[in-house]
Structure 1
Amino acid sequence: MHGRRRGGLLSRGCTATAVTDLELDRVRDTIYALSSGQVPAGVAVIRLSGPAVRFALETLCGAVPEPRAAVLKSIRFQNGELIDRGLVLFFPAPASFTGEDCAELQLHGGRAVVDACCQALGALPGLRQAEGGEFTRRAFDNGKMDLTAVEGLADLIQAETAAQRRMALDQAGGALAAVYAGWAQRLTHARAMIEAELDFSDEEDVPNSLSEAVLRDMRDLSEEIGLHLSGMHWGEIVREGYRVALVGRPNSGKSTLLNRLADREIAIVSDEAGTTRDIVEVRLDLGGYLVILQDTAGLRDTTSAVEKEGIRRALQAVESADLVLYLVAPGMTHEGAEVHHPNLLRVRTMSDRTDGASPAEADISVSALSGAGVDQLVTIISNNIKEIGSSASPLSANRQRHRDLLNVCREELSLAATAIGAAIELRSEHLRLAGAALGRMTGRVDVEDLLGVIFSEFCVGK
């Protein structure tokens, strides 16, 4: 076979990133850290990872346990002084969290015990305290996790609700990465086909006019990414919270309702108008979803500079809200308090009043004092959230980074598909840029994958 190179992807080299000797030394270090949270506690877990894990276990524990077997050991300083007796586990590479030799020391969770064990570990050559996120960074560097899984793990640690936990578990488990890997595989295949037509067009094993069929598939891929992006709002709601703004005129009952929904005293309640000047925010778990309630300044005409600023912030909260609860007390008018939002619910407050005040027009009536109608209001909020989620994919991108990179990928796919009559090299470049954007989603961009596809499918090496 005598295929020629004509400046396509196959002729491009990969530029290695320079790594300093100091950085290499830090990678070779064995790291350790308390991974079980603050002490004192019932149990403290100290995690180790790196090439000197076996040495550390032999030195402090006398021997390396069988892999993945919890063994009761005495942990000692190098001079023989006993630190504690606890469970020791060893996870040999590559079948460990980081892909390196790892170990866990499960000790009594006293501060003195943990300090002594860390002191003993730090005295060993080649061991040092881990930096923030360094265990996960090593797992990524060693191919145990991609960036989306790393982000999912971070979300799982921070999860406040059942919905956040479920979404984070899926992402940390690689479900989102699997979607992107499928798209990346299609992109790699498309680029390989076009590169084959470009670089080996005179070979009889390479089909003719591959590029048009390939670009049709890329148009389909662009539509799939668009559908994925359309469900991103749901991912953002689950991860960051469903924002509900309580707005209305002064003394319409906003702070009282906020306190009732939060089931505790969050906001100051007073008959004096204008007591709320800034946004008062509370995070609630409603039906397994994070809901962020915002009590805002009363809307009215005022000459107070401070109150005007509060009203400006209230209107900003309306703009960013997913749902606006417009509160109106009996006998109130809407003059000077007009609010426009695509998802606005008029709530009549103080429904238990019997002083003869005319009832306000509303979609629902509640009494924050007696609790009447509050459960119904909570149900309405929960149903609003579920309605958004009913049409969204359970696997949704949930970060601005995802949105930006997927939009770049779609744009490059569109340019490749619509470049009618353009040179095949230009179309190939657009696909390369689309693949690079998708690769940055997971942190894996491997140009060498193209070689495997070309040589296996077209037999050009026979």
Structure 2
Amino acid sequence: MTIAALATPPGVGGVAIVRVSGPAAGSVARAVLRRKSGEPLDALAPRSATLAVALDARGGPVDEVLALWMPGPRSYTREDVLEIHCHGGLAAARAVLEACLAAGARLARPGEFTLRAFLNGRIDLVQAEAVLDVIQARTTEALRTHERILAGALSQEVGGWQDRLARALALLEAHLDFPEEEDVGTPEWGAISSQLSDIEEEIERKLSTFAWGRTAREGFTVALVGLPNVGKSSLLNRLVGEDRAIVTEVPGTTRDLVEGWTQAAGVPVRLVDTAGLRQAADPVEEEGVRRARRVLDEADAVVFVCEAGRPLLPEEARELDRLSPRPGFLAVVNKADRGPGPAERIRKDHGVQTLLVSARTGEGIPRLVEELGRLALRGGGPSGEAPLTRERHRTLVAQALACVRRAAELLGRGEFPEVAASEVHGARRHLAELLGWGAPEDVLDRIFSRFCIGK
């Protein structure tokens, strides 16, 4: 079946792209495109731009367009693909898409173009996931990371493990199936165990890349917490460079979670401004405080904000004692432009180093961004390789690692080679599922449903 969809975001823009893929893409092109003279456009030059006029579903001219014809298998989906580049805006793009649907295509489902690329063997499942991650990347470092995966770097590593496991398994099963054959020789379980141990070490090291990979994909979440009116919202606005949160002199203005994005050390950082931690004055604020506590539990790091110009309050001291032992904690004294703050008292009484900043003047903000980057990279950072970026990757690689480890241990002791062979088979199954070979249909549905329509 031939599919069609808008491949660019809906709305006003310079260009809109309607994408068509499938066996009837050529007939769709002949039905909806004409030369500027009005004559039929019988053929499009492969992988070249052709100036044409697009027709609407009733056959009337609607827009002057560029048409790109990419015959399979040298296309994104490995099918015949037609792209029609029309003027941006809702009317022109909608009219062209409706004409393609009237000519025999059906509307594509979310991610269906990439799903076809996967099913037709152009990319594997890891690369398909990277397509979405490239689109959603928020920083240059995150983009580079996902581009390496899309280019096949991670898939090649996994494929290399698969090949080496297959060779070890072939030798192992040869000894098991033909123990009396002279060509097979004496079982060398220790040598096979050593081969598996080498693979085990590589897989274990790859697992250590997950911390950075997840951060690159999901971002590093930082909760801004403290009493009301200490400047958390002003700090959020300063860090993200826009007025995301309402700022007033009235305590308790922030009732719900307010988010904004910035970057530090190439890491996408998600900042969450929370309701002030105090005894709530009404049910709405009470719910805001409850949500703030929940974000505290889920955040990768916590920035505790107090203010200069006054001593540390008892309730702030209690929050410091409760929060400071957790990893990823940072204390900030805001409003440094108002005079001395409690930074030295915090250091002496609570053993916490504190940054002095001013959300109003920008004092200390570069140092705060630097510290956020340091916290974000404490579990590893960009290394030039392709990391594991998703929980699905981590789970399957960890399962494969456990199988390889058990097989190596058994063969190292010269015990139960049949069980060791079964473990190697298990490792290869987990790695195959990672690449999408034989992946369950519900897994594919879950992955591709997150894509936008048109990709």
> What TM-score, normalized to structure 1?
0.80
Which of residues 398, 403, 420 in structure 2 aligns to 1:407?
398
Which of residues 311, 336, 361 in structure 2 aligns to 1:331?
311
After the TM superposition, which residues 11-26 of structure 1 pair with which residues of structure 2 at under 5 Å, given as runs?
none
Partner of 1:95 in structure 2?
74
* Equivalent position amino acid for 2:338 in 1: R
* Residue segments in structure 1 that go unaligned for 5+ positions in a row: 1-28, 447-462
Q: Is 2:245 the partner of 1:267?
A: yes
Q: CA deviation at 1:316?
A: 3.8
Which of residues 35, 43, 46 in structure 1 aligns to 2:18?
46
Q: Is 2:409 the partner of 1:424?
A: no
* Equivalent position amino acid for 1:41 in 2: G
- The CA distance in 1 between the partners of 2:366 and 2:341, in whole Å, is 25
- 8 A contact 1:231–1:392 mirrored in 2: no
1:43–1:391 CA distance, 2 compared to 1 (3 A):
closer
Partner of 2:47 in structure 1?
68
- 8 A contact 2:212–2:381 mirrored in 1: no
- 8 A contact 2:211–2:380 mirrored in 1: no
Partner of 2:452 in structure 1?
none
After the TM superposition, which residues 38-437 of structure 1 pair with which residues of structure 2 at under 5 Å, given as runs?
38-61=10-33, 62-76=41-55, 81-125=60-104, 127-300=105-278, 310-329=288-307, 330-333=310-313, 334-337=316-319, 338=321, 339=323, 340-354=325-339, 360-361=345-346, 362-386=353-377, 388-390=379-381, 394-419=385-410, 420-437=413-430
- The CA distance in 2 between the partners of 1:310 and 1:342, in whole Å, is 24
1:129–1:224 CA distance, 2 compared to 1 (3 A):
same
Partner of 1:33 in structure 2?
5
- The CA distance in 2 between the partners of 1:353 and 1:257, in whole Å, is 15
* Equivalent position amino acid for 2:28 in 1: A
* Equivalent position amino acid for 1:33 in 2: A
- 8 A contact 2:200–2:405 mirrored in 1: yes
Greater CA drift, 64-73 or 317-326: 317-326
- The CA distance in 2 between the partners of 1:341 and 1:263, in whole Å, is 28
Alignment partner of 2:8: what SS?
A: coil
1:205–1:102 CA distance, 2 compared to 1 (3 A):
farther
* Residue segments in structure 2 that go unaligned for 5+ positions in a row: 34-40, 347-352, 440-455
Q: CA deviation at 1:431?
A: 0.9
- 8 A contact 2:343–2:354 mirrored in 1: no
Paired residues in the alignment total 417
Q: CA deviation at 1:95?
A: 1.4
Alignment partner of 2:85: what SS?
A: strand
* Equivalent position amino acid for 1:425 in 2: E
Q: CA deviation at 1:443?
A: 0.6
Q: CA deviation at 1:236?
A: 1.2
> What TM-score, normalized to structure 2?
0.81
Q: CA deviation at 1:151?
A: 0.8
1:443–1:83 CA distance, 2 compared to 1 (3 A):
same
Q: Deviations over 1:38-58 (max 9, x none)?
A: 144332222221122233334
Q: CA deviation at 1:272?
A: 4.7
* Equivalent position amino acid for 1:335 in 2: A
* Equivalent position amino acid for 1:418 in 2: E
Alignment partner of 2:422: what SS?
A: helix
Alignment partner of 2:245: what SS?
A: coil
- 8 A contact 1:193–1:210 mirrored in 2: no
* Equivalent position amino acid for 1:132 in 2: P
Alignment partner of 2:244: what SS?
A: coil
Structure number with greater CO (CA < 8 Å, separation at least 6) is: 2
- The CA distance in 2 between the partners of 1:67 and 1:430, in whole Å, is 49
